[in-house]
Amino acid sequence: MKRHPSKRSVIIASLLASAIVVAIPTQPQIGALRHAHARTLHGAIAAMAPAGIDPVEQRTEAAPQAKPPVSEAPAPQPRARDAGNGKPGPGKVPVQPNPSGSKPKASNPSSGSSAGQAKPNASSGASPATPKPVPPPSPAAQGNDQPAGPESWGYTRKTAKLRIRVIDGRTKEPIDGAEVVLIETEQRFKTDAQGFTPWFDAPVIRNPKYRPMVAELHGQLGAIAYKDGYRDSIHLGIRVHEGIRQQTTIWMYKIGPADRRIEPVLYQEPYHHLWLIQLADKFRSHTQPGEGPERP
């Protein structure tokens, strides 16, 4: 009995493997020119969610800008829960991470057009994880029709009106002239005598890692407050709901003579507990029900 393959079978297998490798397209746009659905999905993160969660309003917004290519496949219907939350689907082509801080070039991220399409991690050479410190234009300057960042990172076109109040954590008196930086957009604001920043357009950013599991019910933002004589305060997880006015408070602590190791103070705002209840219910099994499903 032969225990090893012959030379001829090894050569044939190698040739077959090479042919298969060559047949795999390295430039998906070329191979996908004739397939609208392939173009739409190119560059999307497959693990995000099915393509059918595009909110209706975003599709209608996108329609007048550029006609999507005609496809034989019927348009996917948005799911009720996701449509209400206004989240983009991965069917959209993610916009360039945009390290230069300028407005993303993709004129219509949801149209699926391959012309002018920005690929992630392409051409600019800069890593998306290390953007330049140049502040990008605010969402208000960009207009509300464009997200402040790549949609695959959770950015949406929706914004909320937000203002941040800075107070002294011990006396609870407002702090005038503190500088507040919104981390996600790198916008800077000064507080007034009441400790408030002006109202500004804040992007609604939902954590994309949760989208396949349970729709996140609010976005989250981070801000840092600076003031001479105070510890820096980092405030993460500011809850943001699109379309309403919201405010949050940053507590700052004065640096005293006994403070030897001076480091920033972190405050992490928790998720809303209604969302946590939904999240826990989502994965509950019959064999290990824990506290059991939500009930009166």
Footprint of other proteins on 93-152 (CB under 8 A):
none
**Stretch of residues binding other proteins (CB under 8 A), selected from 8-16, 48-56, 71-79, 236-244:** 236-244
CA–CA dist 267, 262 (Å, integer): 16
In the three-class reduction of DSSP (H, G, I as helix; E, B as strand; rest coil), residue 37 is classed as: helix
Least distance between other proteins and beta carbon 249 (Å): 4
Binding of other proteins by 267 (CB under 8 A) = yes
Binding of other proteins by 229 (CB under 8 A) = no
Query: Residue type for 198, please?
Result: P
- Please name which of 65, 71, 4 lies closest in space to residue 35, comparing C-alpha atoms: 71
Binding of other proteins by 57 (CB under 8 A) = no
Largest CA distance in the chain: 92
Binding of other proteins by 188 (CB under 8 A) = no
Nearer to other proteins, 226 or 267 (CB): 267
CA–CA dist 87, 158 (Å, integer): 9
User: Do residues 203 and 157 lie in contact, with contact meaning Cβ atoms separated by under 8 Å?
Assistant: no
All residues at 6 or more sequence positions from 76 whose CB lies less than 8 Å from its CB, including other chains: 50, 51, 52, 54, 91
Q: How many residues bind other proteins (CB under 8 A)?
A: 26
**Stretch of residues binding other proteins (CB under 8 A), selected from 104-112, 122-130, 226-234, 244-252:** 244-252
User: Do residues 107 and 66 lie in contact, with contact meaning Cβ atoms separated by under 8 Å?
Assistant: yes
Question: Per-residue string for binding with other proteins, 61-100, x by CB under 8 A?
Answer: -------------------xx-------------------
Query: Of residues 3, 260, 273, 282, which one binds other proteins by CB under 8 A?
Result: 273
Binding of other proteins by 244 (CB under 8 A) = yes
Query: Of residues 125, 270, 289, 292, which one binds other proteins by CB under 8 A?
Result: 270
CA–CA dist 146, 277 (Å, integer): 32
Binding of other proteins by 282 (CB under 8 A) = no
- Please name which of 242, 233, 234 lies closest in space to residue 206, comparing C-alpha atoms: 242
CA–CA dist 22, 219 (Å, integer): 44
Cα torsion at 232, 136, 124, 155 (round to 10°)? 80
Nearer to other proteins, 29 or 278 (CB): 278
Binding of other proteins by 29 (CB under 8 A) = no
Least distance between other proteins and beta carbon 286 (Å): 18
**Stretch of residues binding other proteins (CB under 8 A), selected from 29-37, 38-46, 123-131, 245-253:** 245-253
Where do contacts with other proteins occur on this chain (CB under 8 A)? 80-81, 165, 167, 217-218, 241-249, 267-268, 270, 272-274, 277-278, 294-296
